[in-house]
Amino acid sequence: MEKYVILGGAKLEGEVEISGAKNSAVALIVAALLVEDVCIIENVPAVSDTYVLIDIINQLGGKAEFVDKGVLRIDGSSLNCCEAPYEMVSKIRASSYLMGALLGRFKQARVAMPGGCDFGVRPIDLHLKGFAALGAECNVEYGLVDIKAEALRGAGIYMDQVSVGATINIMLASAMAEGQTVIENAAKEPHIVDVANFLNSMGANIKGAGTDVIKIKGVEKLHGGMYTVIPDQIEAGTFMIAAAATQGDVLIKNIIPKHLDSISAKLEEMGVEIEEYDDSIRVRGTSELRKANVKTMPHPGFPTDLQPQMLTLLTAAKGTSIVTENVWDNRFKYVEELRRMGATVSVDGRTAVVEGGGRLSGSPVSSTDLRAGAALVIAGLMADGVTEIYNLKYIDRGYESFEQKLRALGAQITRRKDGEKSYAVTIA
């Protein structure tokens, strides 16, 4: 088993280049299966979620491979299977997009209930309601979601709750349906816009992505092409928070500052200095962090995927901060790990109360999911002494070259096999 060993206390300083957005890439990779043609996707992050999808495509009879750094070639022309069993899809939430892509292309899909990070119930009722509205019959049996349609016909779909996954799945399934589909109360995350732009570049007719109402006029066929993934909003936010947490001074490059508005605003409220440029942001930390209340919301609100990192930063802000998780019902599991490091945080349902201002101390801890893992890395950077972080498989799902990027900024972080000589010993 591998672990990170971090010696805390170093200020992060310098420049970091943000990779392509993981949550966008995983949707685009699956969307490429809608075409019987070749798609080249650039700026794809080399993270384990990407490799899991490459395997899935190859097992389904398609061809997917990296042909250069960040350049993924996907040839869906030979795809010959509409069934994605449990072993294939259970590792990754984005495999749920196979439902929309296979249904859109073949009018049928049999996909095991998707997996992914565990932060409470992760239903797919909205996805299935959307497919049903388009004329598909959906049944869940023997662990598989069985979806088929004689024909897909455009429909008006109102989403009871804003869902990123369901919005993307409905776009995929309806891109080649007959007539027009209108999604109301659609998700507005940057990767929704990226998926719509990608599909449009392949010949789709989608308008309104990024607003509450998305209109999809079905087209007969989509074609292959080239597309570049947007920068990762969550990776960028993670580095912004890490810079603030270490009282550092970091220029975060290759980003879209607009996507980071909610994070910049919250950090400024806490006393962190933010300077925005065209495609970069400079973050300068302070030793006098102010407390703040944070509520996660669908975009453009504060992203739930930065909640653990932000809560970790708040442990250094004097006073009582309140963090409310409005998207997931159980996303504070990692707090137990922060408590091992001396954080004073109490959790009641979807609310966490952080008594900040004390110093964290290094300790062995375990990632409980992808973003919680990133939060623990930030905690390790802030803490006195040595922190060991286990369960790196979660962090590897979504952060490209995480420790290399942090090391280049001055962090003392190494990846070790458990049992290898500890960093603390090396330092001493």
Task: State which of positions 128-157 bind ligand UD1 (CB under 6 A).
Answer: none
Please identify, using beta-carbon distances, which residue of 182 and 297 lies nearer to ligand UD1: 297
Please identify, using beta-carbon distances, which residue of 93 and 105 lies nearer to ligand UD1: 93
User: Which position among 63, 73, 122, 393 is part of the footprint of ligand UD1 (CB under 6 A)?
Assistant: 122
Told to check if 23 binds ligand UD1 by CB under 6 A, we report yes
Cβ-contact 254, 391 below 8 angstroms: no
Name the minimum Å distance from CB 65 to ligand UD1: 22
Active-site residue, from 39, 81, 82, 117: 117
Told to check if 127 binds ligand UD1 by CB under 6 A, we report yes
Listed ranges 124-132, 198-206, 237-245, 418-426: which one lies at the site for ligand UD1 (CB under 6 A): 124-132
Cβ-contact 118, 369 below 8 angstroms: yes
Q: Of all helices (H) and strands (E), which one includes residue 253?
A: strand 249-253
Tokens (6 digits) for 289: 């962090």
Task: Determine the angle formed by the axes of helices 164-174 and 190-201, rounding to 10 degrees.
Answer: 10
Task: State which of positions 182-201 bind ligand UD1 (CB under 6 A).
Answer: 187
Told to check if 327 binds ligand UD1 by CB under 6 A, we report yes
DSSP state of 360: P
Tokens (6 digits) for 293: 């209340």
C-beta neighbour count of 32 within 10 angstroms = 30
Q: What angle do CA 413, 414, 420 make, to 5 degrees?
A: 140
Q: Alpha-carbon distance 200 to 207, whole Å?
A: 9
Q: With CB under 6 A, what is the number of residues at the site for ligand UD1?
A: 21
Instruction: Indicate the burial class of 158 (C-beta count within 10 angstroms; 0-12, 13-18, 19 or more).
Output: exposed
Helix (H, G, I), strand (E, B) or coil at 123: coil
User: Pattern 82-121, binding to ligand UD1, x per CB under 6 A?
Assistant: -----------xx--------------------------x
Q: Are strands 225-228 and 108-112 parallel, antiparallel or unpaired?
A: unpaired
Task: State which of positions 349-408 bind ligand UD1 (CB under 6 A).
Answer: none
Told to check if 212 binds ligand UD1 by CB under 6 A, we report no
Q: Alpha-carbon distance 170 to 147, whole Å?
A: 13
Q: Alpha-carbon distance 49 to 69, whole Å?
A: 16
The answer, yes or no, to whether the previous bond of 300 is cis (omega within 30 of 0) is yes
Told to check if 163 binds ligand UD1 by CB under 6 A, we report yes
Please identify, using beta-carbon distances, which residue of 34 and 360 lies nearer to ligand UD1: 34
Q: Give Cα separations from 187 to 58, 167, 264 (angstroms).
A: 30, 6, 21
Please identify, using beta-carbon distances, which residue of 298 and 356 lies nearer to ligand UD1: 298
Listed ranges 71-79, 159-167, 225-233, 401-409: which one lies at the site for ligand UD1 (CB under 6 A): 159-167
Please identify, using beta-carbon distances, which residue of 89 and 386 lies nearer to ligand UD1: 89
Listed ranges 122-130, 196-204, 378-386, 404-412: which one lies at the site for ligand UD1 (CB under 6 A): 122-130
Task: State which of positions 276-305 bind ligand UD1 (CB under 6 A).
Answer: 304-305
Residue 39 annotated to the active site: no
Give the residues across from 5 on adjacent strands. 388, 414
User: Which position among 328, 332, 394, 399 is part of the footprint of ligand UD1 (CB under 6 A)?
Assistant: 328
Told to check if 61 binds ligand UD1 by CB under 6 A, we report no
**Which residues, 6+ apart, have CB-to-CB distance to 125 below 8 Å?**
none
List residues near ligand UD1 by CB under 6 A.
23, 26, 93-94, 121-127, 161, 163-166, 187, 304-305, 327-328
List, by residue number, the catalytic residues. Answer: 117
